[in-house]
Amino acid sequence: MAHSAVPVTSRWPGVAAAALVLVLTLGTLGAVAWRAEWGGGLAAADWAAIRFTVLQALLSAFFSVVLAIPVARALARRRFRGRSLLITLLGAPFLLPVIVAVLGLLAIFGRGGIVNEGLEWLGLEPISIFGLHGVVLAHVFFNMPLAVRFILQGWLSIPAERFRLAASLNAPVGRLLEWPMLRAVVPSTFLVIFLICLTSFAVALTMGGGPRATTIELAIYQAVRFDFDLGRAALLACIQFGLCVVAAVLAWRVTGNDPMGSGMDRVVQRWDVARWGADYAIIICAALFLLLPLAMIILRGLPGIFDMPGTIWVAALRSVFVALGSSALCVVMCLALALRGGAMVSVIGVMPLAASGLVVGTGAFLLVFPFTRPSDVALFVTMLVNATLALPFALRSVAPAVGQVQADYGRLAMSLNLSGWSWMRLVVLPRVRRPLGFAAGLAAALSMGDLGVIALFAGQSEETLPLAMYRLMGAYRMDAAASAALLLVALSLALFWICDRGGRADADM
């Protein structure tokens, strides 16, 4: 790169990581298209699915981000006991398997849920949660935690020195510091959540109340499972990628530059925040919305937790192993890509989000099948795919930090002739350990709950915890499944907390 001085690191890890992402996204799509017999184009129902998909994804992303901003601001401005625990717990919904989260939400908003009981008590008409509003509500429940984390990171990345300067000049913090930070952080957060909701299938269908809530991903599912029309599946997957590219370009157009510069990483002390009541009210509302369904899941699963069959514990162990593997892989890939930087990395960083889970799984199956039995490589492929799927979130939080280090300390390092591993060890890694810990934790937790690839590949002896939970449900054992779900949530959160905490070991917050 000519315009800025960046110490030299090896090229090939970044290239290898990019290649892996391309194989697992476009490569698997290619494998599916290769096997397809091409027939007609899209039916009217497919167009309806595309329209509904975009509409619900836009609404979901909009509400997730808009609601997350005040919550992130309140959390950034306030210090209280249990704050760090609360921040970790608020992230839980994002890590829940779909069916678990849906049942948790229904316990609050469903027919016999707390909300309707309250309305009945007040003598009001009960509300139905099913419909477009239900889809959006569920997506906000899933994704607002992610938005809060990203935006909170944005707030915490404003150096304390800037706040002091603003305070001493009596300058407006909102316009000079917070607005530019939001301009830099919000568009990409919106993009990530839009793309997650773009590939939603089970949530949209279940909460949407019927086939009018058909998404592109469900249409792909139908093409593969119901019609065995791989051509249409590939075509729909291409449309999903196309929408992803359009959304990504739009998001980058409105993204502002982060003008903060470097600081000394001190704790931010704020002089400008007086009304603590509003902040705490916002935090309590968000906590109720996000944690009540979680509490219902805990209550439901707790009684049977020690009556679960032994195989569940074995499956849990296997899942932890897969999670740690894909977390390590994700962190390495993420660092390699972040160090390369550039537009290509930005594209690769969002591509896995637009990939259809079923197409990735089917394509990987077609790629692997000629060479080996799919069940033999089930856990390894699951690790690879999950590391790739978690990459967008990891990059989203690590890449800006790495870019910042390169901008702030690159020239100094060049003048000291610092490069390669020494540059990584002495400068980069210590300065990005917080986002890196977050990324590792997120990758581990997401991979714990994955039910995409493993369901296509696994035999009996490769059963992971989510798969075991789903199989329990399929065998009428809903109580045992609820306990397995609780174990899954607890393990995911524990893995996330350990990694995230590790990244913040000597930090002040």
User: Which sign, positive or negative, has the C-alpha torsion 79, 85, 90, 91?
Assistant: positive
The least distance separating other proteins from the CB of residue 228, rounded to whole angstroms, comes to: 5
What is the residue type of 141? F
> Is residue 432 at the binding interface for other proteins, with CB under 8 A as the rule?
no
The least distance separating other proteins from the CB of residue 232, rounded to whole angstroms, comes to: 13
> Is residue 103 at the binding interface for other proteins, with CB under 8 A as the rule?
yes
CA-to-CA separations, 95 to 69, 477, 490, in angstroms, rounded: 20, 23, 10
The span from the CA of 125 to the CA of 123, in Å, is: 7
Binding segment for other proteins among 57-65, 78-86, 203-211, 384-392 (CB under 8 A)?
A: 203-211
CA-to-CA separations, 168 to 171, 172, 180, in angstroms, rounded: 8, 11, 20
The span from the CA of 177 to the CA of 305, in Å, is: 48
> Is residue 138 at the binding interface for other proteins, with CB under 8 A as the rule?
no
Among 74, 99, 137, 484, binds other proteins (CB under 8 A): 99
Among 206, 327, 346, 492, binds other proteins (CB under 8 A): 206
CA-to-CA separations, 273 to 159, 265, 280, 348, in angstroms, rounded: 17, 20, 12, 40
> Is residue 29 at the binding interface for other proteins, with CB under 8 A as the rule?
no
Among 140, 207, 324, 381, binds other proteins (CB under 8 A): 207
Written as six digits, the tokens of 298 are: 């805990």
User: Which sign, positive or negative, has the C-alpha torsion 267, 272, 276, 278?
Assistant: negative
> Is residue 476 at the binding interface for other proteins, with CB under 8 A as the rule?
yes
The residues in 341-400 that bind other proteins, with binding defined as CB under 8 A, are: 362, 365-366, 369-370, 373, 375
Binding segment for other proteins among 58-66, 103-111, 332-340, 442-450 (CB under 8 A)?
A: 103-111
> Is residue 470 at the binding interface for other proteins, with CB under 8 A as the rule?
yes
Q: Smaller CB distance to other proteins: residue 443 or 485?
A: 485
Q: Smaller CB distance to other proteins: residue 19 or 299?
A: 299
> Is residue 309 at the binding interface for other proteins, with CB under 8 A as the rule?
yes
Question: Who contacts 139 (Cβ-Cβ below 8 Å, separation ≥6)?
Answer: 56, 60, 64, 193, 196, 197, 200, 203
- CA torsion angle for 77, 83, 89, 93 (degrees, to 10)? -10
Q: Smaller CB distance to other proteins: residue 313 or 365?
A: 365
Q: How many CB atoms lie within 10 A of CB 306?
A: 7
Among 13, 27, 35, 263, binds other proteins (CB under 8 A): 35
> Is residue 111 at the binding interface for other proteins, with CB under 8 A as the rule?
yes
Q: Smaller CB distance to other proteins: residue 246 or 478?
A: 478
The span from the CA of 24 to the CA of 21, in Å, is: 5
Burial-class residue 417 by CB neighbours within 10 Å (0-12, 13-18, 19+).
exposed
Among 135, 397, 177, which Cα is nearest to 272's? 177
> Is residue 142 at the binding interface for other proteins, with CB under 8 A as the rule?
no
Among 182, 202, 237, 268, binds other proteins (CB under 8 A): 202
Q: Smaller CB distance to other proteins: residue 277 or 370?
A: 370
The least distance separating other proteins from the CB of residue 236, rounded to whole angstroms, comes to: 13
Among 273, 407, 414, 456, binds other proteins (CB under 8 A): 456
Question: Who contacts 257 (Cβ-Cβ below 8 Å, separation ≥6)?
Answer: 180, 184
The residues in 160-199 that bind other proteins, with binding defined as CB under 8 A, are: none
Please count the residues of this chain forming the interface with other proteins, following the rule CB under 8 A: 55
CA-to-CA separations, 99 to 71, 102, 334, 451, 478, in angstroms, rounded: 26, 5, 29, 11, 12
The span from the CA of 275 to the CA of 267, in Å, is: 20
Q: Smaller CB distance to other proteins: residue 282 or 482?
A: 482
CB-CB contact of 263 with 163 (8 Å):
no
Q: What's the gap between Cα 70 and its chain centre? A: 20
> Is residue 40 at the binding interface for other proteins, with CB under 8 A as the rule?
no
Binding segment for other proteins among 82-90, 150-158, 186-194, 201-209 (CB under 8 A)?
A: 201-209
CB-CB contact of 404 with 438 (8 Å):
no
Among 322, 330, 338, 455, binds other proteins (CB under 8 A): 455
The least distance separating other proteins from the CB of residue 253, rounded to whole angstroms, comes to: 35
> Is residue 119 at the binding interface for other proteins, with CB under 8 A as the rule?
no
> Is residue 259 at the binding interface for other proteins, with CB under 8 A as the rule?
no
The residues in 208-237 that bind other proteins, with binding defined as CB under 8 A, are: 208-212, 214, 218, 221-222, 224-226, 228
Q: Smaller CB distance to other proteins: residue 24 or 334?
A: 24
The span from the CA of 471 to the CA of 475, in Å, is: 6
Burial-class residue 277 by CB neighbours within 10 Å (0-12, 13-18, 19+).
exposed
Q: Smaller CB distance to other proteins: residue 260 or 456?
A: 456
The least distance separating other proteins from the CB of residue 134, rounded to whole angstroms, comes to: 8
Enumerate binding residues for other proteins (CB under 8 A): 35, 45, 48, 99, 102-103, 106-107, 110-112, 128, 130, 201-202, 205-212, 214, 218, 221-222, 224-226, 228, 309, 311, 362, 365-366, 369-370, 373, 375, 455-456, 458-460, 470-478, 481
